[in-house]
Amino acid sequence: METRARCPAASVLPARPRHRTLRPPCTVESIFRNFTIRRAALIRALTTDEEALFNKCDPGMQLLCLRGNTDGSWEVKLPESCVPISQPEPTLSINISRDKMKRHEWLQEVAVQCDAWLINISFYFAPLLIASERERLFNMINSLKTVQETFLASNTYLRICHLEEEVTCFCSELYTNQVVYIQV
């Protein structure tokens, strides 16, 4: 009967669930699919889920970043310390300027940062592609509107701008129609 050496810590540690290891995308199609899924998640965060995004980006918290995940979800969280240094992280501190800008301007700034991160993460996975494949990937990505362009064309952007314009008009109207009472 054969005996196998066991790790001494194996009996102490709980059994780890066996997850399928995720391989990084390595073809033009898989990198582009990764890009489009993350892009859709970020667009949803900035449009459909805009109120939830705004609430999660509390300026009083530490430096946060918005991530689009490959499962189509989005999250606002602290940067991951276990991500390899070479792998691009989303822009930090999206929450710091939230209350210093008009909401539509802040969301537009976040959209620009999302675009930069999406390009960065896509071409992080592309170094093993040959030049013609990288060019094809670039053209496929450029065939889509950017996150910022999509946000600016959205009903969410128009609604927020309209609400902010109403507030500005209301405030200026209050200021110009002030009645000053002089006590005699």
Distance CA 108, CA 153 (A): 11
Burial (CB count <10 Å: 0-12, 13-18, 19+), residue 20: exposed
Q: Which residue has the higher pLDDT, 84 or 124?
A: 124
Task: Provide the token pair at 40.
Answer: 């859709």
Show the beta-strand stretches assigned E in 33-133: 65-68, 74-77
Give the count of beta carbons closer than 10 Å to the beta carbon of residue 60: 7
Q: Are 147 and 115 in contact (CB under 8 A)?
A: yes
For the question of whether the overall pTM of this predicted structure is more than 0.75, the answer is: no
Residue 142 lies in a domain: yes
Residue 3 lies in a domain: no
With respect to residue 94, please indicate whether it lies within any of the assigned structural domains. yes
Q: How far apart are CA 41 and CA 75, in angstroms?
A: 9
For residue 49, being part of any structural domain is answered with yes
- 7: pLDDT confidence band, cut at 50, 70 and 90? very low
The SS3 of residue 8 is: helix
168 pLDDT more than 80: no
Q: What domain range includes position 89?
A: 25-151
In a domain, 10, yes or no: no
* CA–CA distances in Å: residue 49 to residues 65, 83, 156: 16, 26, 10
Is there a domain that residue 146 lies in? yes
Per-residue pLDDT band at 8 (split at 50, 70, 90): very low
C-beta of residue 164 within 8 angstroms of C-beta of residue 102: yes
Structural domain count, the chain: 1
* Region of poorest pLDDT, from 39-53, 146-160, 165-179: 165-179
pLDDT bin (cut points 50, 70, 90) of residue 19 is very low
Confirm whether 183 is domain-assigned. Answer: no
Confidence of residue 148 (pLDDT cuts 50, 70, 90): very high
Distance CA 96, CA 178 (A): 35
CA atoms in the 13 A half-sphere facing the CB of 50: 21
Q: Which of 12-26, 67-81, 87-101 has the lowest mean pLDDT?
A: 12-26
Between 56 and 133, whose confidence is greater? Answer: 133
pLDDT band at 104 (very low <50, low <70, confident <90, very high): confident
Give the pLDDT confidence score for residue 59 in this predicted structure: 76
3-class DSSP assignment, residue 67: strand
Average pLDDT score over residue span 140-150? 95
Residue 16, domain member (yes or no): no
Position 24 scores a pLDDT of 64
- The pLDDT score that the predictor gives to residue 157 is 85
